[in-house]
Amino acid sequence: MIYQRRINYYETDGMQVVHHSNYIRFLEEARIYYMDKMGLPYSILESEGIMIPVLGVNCTYKHPAKFDDIIEINVKIKEYTGVKISMQYEITNKQTGQLVLTGETKHCFTNADLKPVSLKKVNLKMHEIFDNAKNQNF
């Protein structure tokens, strides 16, 4: 699934290069967009008392993105167990085709008290949506 966005000036440093910390936000934007497209907006999970905290982030920066570039973020589920989920990302510059970043985020599912839960046990419908999404590109 491809999420596309334009780089804003405030997301860059003095060289008009995207500050490295902003890529984490871009990954989150793409992940939320992905969940919307698979029919499971994050707001629905929260309304059911299910949270998806981040356990870890790994990014490898390949080429800088700059102010006014349009980037495309390809996001997919790398692994899903029902308790944990890993998302994989590739960011490319739409104009040049250069690979900007590769990354991965790791998450777990919790209740509102941040205690880990198995979606298969607490919400079978959500579990099935995530499980089916592993093999799909939206």
Active site residues: 13
User: 52: burial class by Cβ within 10 Å (0-12, 13-18, 19+)?
Assistant: middle
Do the beta carbons of residue 94 and residue 4 sit within 8 Å?
yes
Phi-psi region of 16 (alpha: psi -120 to 50; beta: other; left: phi over 0): left
The DSSP H or E segment spanning 26 is helix 22-37
37/125 Cα distance (integer angstroms): 16
